[in-house]
Chain A
Amino acid sequence: MEKATGKSIFKGIAIGRILFYQKGEQQVKRVKVEDTEAELKRYEQATEIAVGQLNELYQNAVKEVGETNAAVFEVHAIMVQDGDYVDSIRNIIETQQVNAEFAVATTGDNFSKMFSEMDDEYFKARAADVKDISERIVNILSGVENSGDIGDEPVIVVAEDLAPSETVQMDKEKLLAFVTRLGSSNSHTAILARTMNIPALIEVEIKEEWNGKLAIVDGYSGTFYIEPEEEILAQMKERQDEDIRNRKLLQQLKGKEDITLDGKKIKLYANIGGVKDVASVLANDAAGIGLFRSEFLYLEADDYPSEESQFLVYKKVAENMAGKKVIVRTLDIGADKQADYFQLGHEDNPAMGYRAIRICLDRVDIFKTQLRALFRASAFGNIAIMYPMIISVNEVKKIKEIVELVKKELDVQEVPYGNVEQGIMIETPAAVMISDLLAQEVDFFSIGTNDLTQYTLAIDRQNSKLDNIYDSHHPAVLRMIQKTIENGHKHGCWVGICGELGADPTLTQAFLNMGIDELSVSPTFVLPIRKNIREMKVNGAPEL
C-alpha cells in the first residue's frame, strides 16, 4: 500500500481504479510565417470557434451545476475576446511574423503570469483560467480535440491539473473522484467539484505508475491510498456506506418539520463560525442559526474590526438566511481564543479569567462597535443577539443600558434596525442558580454545555489527563440544564442548547422531556437530530 496526502476539496470517500489523465498538451513550436494576414485570419476563426464552444459549455453547465457556477464559461468567452489579449496576440503575429499557436501560447503565459504575481489568493488562482482559454485556442488552431474523455469504467481521475472545462465535460457517471498535483481550493474546478459532490484532493504528489491501480480517496482526512490494505478498504467502505445512508436521510428529511410524534415543535438550528458555513446550514436544512460565533471576525483580523466590516458580514448572513433566525453571540475572546492586538497578557487560569462579556463590559467601545453593527444588520433579516459568560443580573442590566444607548444613537442618526431578541448564554453554574432572576431580564437562554460542564465538574477541558473523568452526561450537568429550562419557562423565556451536548443523539429524549425549545448543532447533525425528534414523544420521565 502506498499513501499520499493532499488538501481535500470535498469531504467524501471514493473507491476505484486510477486513471492517469494526460491532456493532449501541445508543445507549441515557434514557426515563421510569410503571410501574416492569413495567420491573423486563422486566429480570428479559432477565436470564433472557441467562443462557440464556450457558449455551448455554458449552456450545459447551467443545467448541471447552476447559473452561478456555470458563469466561469461565460467569463472565459469574455476573456477570449478581451481587447488586451487579442491585441497582444495580433501584435506578436504581425511584428514577429510567427504562427498563431505561438502567439496565443506566449500571450497566455504572459497574462497568467500577471495573475500569479498578484497578492490576492483569489486573483492568483485566475492564472489557471487564462491558461485554460489559451489552451483551448491553441487546440483549435492545431486541430486537437478538447476532450474530457475518461473511458467507460468508473475511475478516480489523477492529473497534473484540471481545467474547469475538462471537469465539466467528464462523464459524471464515470468520475468517482479527482486527485491533482496543482490547483487551489479557490479554483473553479474545486468549486465545481463541491457543487457536483465529487471527492477531490489537490496538492498531491502524483505518479504516473499509479495508472490502473485500485485506490481510495478519503476526502475527510485528505489521504489518497494506492493499493490499499484489506483493513483500510473495509474501513473506508463502511464510511462510504455511512455517507450514502446520510444522503438518503437528507432526501427523506429535507423540508420536513422538526416536530415530535405528540406535536411539540422544536427549533432545530445550526452553529456556525463564519460566513462560509452558511451554505452548509442551508444544505442541511436547518431552521435557523442558533449560534453564530462572531470571534472569527476578531481572530482573523490584525486590528479591531470596524463597524462597517462587521455590519457587512452580519448583513450577508442575515440576508442569506432569508428571514430565518440568526443568533449572533457577541465577542467571546479570551481563554483559548486569543488575538494579539487585544494585548490580553498571560493568565494562569484563563478559563476563569478576563474573557467574553467581562472584556466587553470593561472595554465598552469594542462592545458598542459590535452592537451597532448587529443592530444595523438587523434591518436586513431576523437577527438575535446573545451574550456569553454571564454570572450576574447586574451584568445583564449593564448590557441592556449599553444596548439602549446604541439604539438611541441609531435613532438620532435615523439608521433603521429591526426588532432584536436578546438572550444570554447559560454556561456558568452561577447563571443556572439565578436563572429565575436572569429570565426576567431577557428573551431567551442558550445553554453552552461545554463550559457549563467544565465549570460544574471543575475539570479543565484542555487537560487531557482528565478526559476519562470529564463526563458531560454527569447528573449534575443534566440537572443544571433542567433547572435552567424550568426557570426560563416560568418567566417566559424560551430555552435552547447550543453546546456539543445538543447534538448527542442519546440525550435528545432527555432534553425533550425537560421541555427544551431549541437545539443548535453543527450543520451535519441537523438531519440526524431531526430524525430523532420526529420519532420521539415529549412525555415520559427523564432519568436523572
Chain B
Amino acid sequence: MVKITFKVNDEMGLHARPAGMLVKEAAKCTSKVTIQKGEKTGDAKRIFNVMSLSIKANEEVILLVEGEKEEEEAAVLEAFVKENI
C-alpha cells in the first residue's frame, strides 16, 4: 500500500470541480484508492464518498493506493494532486 499526503489549497476546499477531477483520475487506476480525512475514509473513485468528507481548505488529506500496480499508479495520482488540487 502506498500513502500520499496532501493539502487542499483551494479556498473553497475540495469542492465539486476538483473532487470530480480527482474521482476521474482515481477511476483510471486498477488499484483500490481510499481517501482519508482524520478518522473518516471513503472510496476515492466515488464522488459522493469524496464529497461527503467535506474537505475544506488547508485540511490534510491522505490517499491510500492498494493493488498490483500501486507504485506506478500512486506516482501518477501524486503528480495529479500536486498539479491540480
Flag if A78 contacts B47 (CB, 8 Å): yes
Contacts of A79 in B (CB 8 A): 47-48
Contacts of B48 in A (CB 8 A): 79, 82, 84-85, 111, 114
Least CB distance, B52 to chain A, in whole angstroms: 6
- Report the bound CA distance from A82 to B23 in whole Å: 9
Residues of B49-72 contacting chain A, CB below 8 A: 49, 51-52, 54, 56-58
- Report the bound CA distance from A275 to B57 in whole Å: 14
Least CB distance, B85 to chain A, in whole angstroms: 14
Flag if B56 contacts A72 (CB, 8 Å): no
Flag if A123 contacts B45 (CB, 8 Å): no
Contacts of B20 in A (CB 8 A): 71, 74-75, 78
Residues of A45-86 contacting chain B, CB below 8 A: 68, 71-72, 74-75, 78-79, 82-85
Least CB distance, A276 to chain B, in whole angstroms: 9
Contacts of A313 in B (CB 8 A): 11
Chain B 32-48: CB-based contact to A (< 8 A → 1; otherwise 0): 00000000000101111
**A122 interface contact, C-beta 8 A:** yes
- Report the bound CA distance from A129 to B49 in whole Å: 15
Query: Which single member of A82, A118, A119, A308 contacts B46 (CB below 8 Å)?
Result: A82
- Report the bound CA distance from A83 to B26 in whole Å: 13
Contacts of A111 in B (CB 8 A): 48
- Report the bound CA distance from A79 to B20 in whole Å: 8
- Report the bound CA distance from A313 to B12 in whole Å: 12
Contacts of B24 in A (CB 8 A): 78
Least CB distance, B29 to chain A, in whole angstroms: 14
Flag if B12 contacts A75 (CB, 8 Å): no
Range of interface residues on chain A?
20 to 34
The secondary structure that dominates the A interface is helix
- Report the bound CA distance from A72 to B17 in whole Å: 7
**A543 interface contact, C-beta 8 A:** no
- Report the bound CA distance from A129 to B20 in whole Å: 13
- Report the bound CA distance from A276 to B49 in whole Å: 29
Of B12, B15, B45, B51, most buried by chain A (CB within 10 Å of CB) is B51
Flag if B54 contacts A118 (CB, 8 Å): yes
Flag if B51 contacts A122 (CB, 8 Å): no
**A348 interface contact, C-beta 8 A:** no
Query: Which single member of A68, A72, A123, A312 contacts B9 (CB below 8 Å)?
Result: A312
Contacts of A308 in B (CB 8 A): 58
Flag if A83 contacts B13 (CB, 8 Å): no
Chain A 372-387: CB-based contact to B (< 8 A → 1; otherwise 0): 0000000000000000
- Report the bound CA distance from A312 to B46 in whole Å: 29
**A506 interface contact, C-beta 8 A:** no
Contacts of A309 in B (CB 8 A): 58
Flag if A129 contacts B16 (CB, 8 Å): yes
Query: Which single member of A68, A83, A275 contacts B17 (CB below 8 Å)?
Result: A68
Task: Say whether, besides A75-B17, A123-B51, A83 and B58 are in contact (CB < 8 Å).
Answer: no
Task: Say whether, besides A84-B46, A118-B54, A126 and B13 are in contact (CB < 8 Å).
Answer: no
Least CB distance, B9 to chain A, in whole angstroms: 7
Residues of A312-333 contacting chain B, CB below 8 A: 312-313, 316
**A25 interface contact, C-beta 8 A:** no
**B19 interface contact, C-beta 8 A:** yes
- Report the bound CA distance from A82 to B19 in whole Å: 12
- Chain B residue at minimal CB-CB distance from A308: B58
Flag if B19 contacts A122 (CB, 8 Å): no
Least CB distance, A240 to chain B, in whole angstroms: 33
Contacts of A173 in B (CB 8 A): none
**Which A residues lie at the B interface, using CB under 8 A?**
68, 71-72, 74-75, 78-79, 82-85, 111, 114-115, 118-120, 122-123, 126, 129, 275, 308-309, 312-313, 316
26 CB contacts below 8 A, A to B, read A68-B17, A71-B17, A74-B17, A74-B20, A75-B16, A75-B17, A75-B47, A78-B23, A78-B24, A78-B47, A79-B47, A82-B47, A82-B48, A83-B45, A83-B46, A84-B48, A115-B51, A119-B54, A120-B13, A120-B54, A123-B51, A308-B58, A312-B9, A312-B57, A312-B58, A313-B11
**Which B residues lie at the A interface, using CB under 8 A?**
9, 11-13, 15-17, 19-20, 23-24, 43, 45-49, 51-52, 54, 56-58
A78-B24, A308-B58, A309-B58 provided; 11 other pairs, C-beta below 8 A? A78-B23, A78-B47, A83-B43, A83-B45, A84-B48, A84-B49, A118-B54, A119-B54, A122-B12, A122-B13, A126-B16
